[in-house]
Amino acid sequence: MSQSDTNSLADEAYFSHTRPDAISLDANSADGIFGVVHDLGNLIQVATSALNMISRSPDIEIGPTLLPVFASARISLQRAGTLVQQTMRLASDGNAAAEPVDVRACLMEIEALARATWDRNIAFEIYASETLPIFRCSRVGLQSAIMNLLLNARDAMPDGGVISIIATAIDDERAAAGIELRISDNGLGMTEDVLRRASDPFFTTKASGLGGLGLPMVNRFVREARGHLRLESEPGRGTVVTLRLPVEG
């Protein structure tokens, strides 16, 4: 395989889970976006009802190996429903609910969800300081941002690999107090051209799948938190995403 082929594969893998091929929206049409979000909410309710029916049915026995998968599916649907509610509220009044968030606890929840549902060839290395300050933000927004980054990292490692998550308090007299989240993988990486466009809405390198919104959503969350996002990547050497999030004094 040539170097150009390798670079193309790397770019495609990193964005493999985010592209809106199935939905055509006018970017300036708030009504269109509002309608799509509303329909997604209805679909989430249908899926949730189906899971509830399965759990209550005396004719269906859920074996021990499927219990964590079933639980993860329910948690994911609950979070998806919360995201829909927040998006609808944001469309109507422009404000997302903020609350004091324990970042370390959020990371542990996300790790448990990923370990229960992802292939075993993906390993996790997580370090979260026990002295992280409380961060005020949308809890679901933070979890969604982190999950988007983990999905990108996973898709960039088709043969498996290691995802590292490091969360530390910013201890620098030159910077405001805050939290630094560093998420890295040893996957295929990205070319310089793709790296420059990585946060552009609807940009993707793959012709199939739902894509082009993952990193832009992360970037939006970071901007709303008055933080900073940094991307570092090289083909064949993986990707590092660093979020620096300020906390109120």
Total count of domains within the chain: 1
pLDDT tens digits, one per residue of 63-94:
787 777 777 788 878 777 777 776 666 555 54
Is residue 127 one of the residues assigned to a domain?
Answer: yes
Distance in angstroms between the alpha carbons of the first and the last residue of the chain: 53
Is residue 29 one of the residues assigned to a domain?
Answer: no
Is residue 17 one of the residues assigned to a domain?
Answer: yes
Is residue 169 one of the residues assigned to a domain?
Answer: yes
Amino acid at 240: V
Nearest CA-CA partner of 106 in 67, 147, 77, 69: 147
Q: What's the pTM value of the predicted model, to 2 decimals?
A: 0.65
Is residue 86 one of the residues assigned to a domain?
Answer: no
Is residue 116 one of the residues assigned to a domain?
Answer: yes
CATH code for position 229: 3.30.565.10
Q: The domain containing residue 133 runs over which residues?
A: 3-21+96-246
Does residue 208 carry a pLDDT above 60? no
Is residue 224 one of the residues assigned to a domain?
Answer: yes
CA dihedral 77, 78, 81, 83 (to 10 degrees): -100
pLDDT tens digits, one per residue of 35-46:
667 677 777 878
Residue 24 burial (CB < 10 Å; 0-12/13-18/19+)? Answer: exposed
d(CA 97, CA 23): 27
Is residue 26 one of the residues assigned to a domain?
Answer: no
State percent of the chain over pLDDT 70: 71
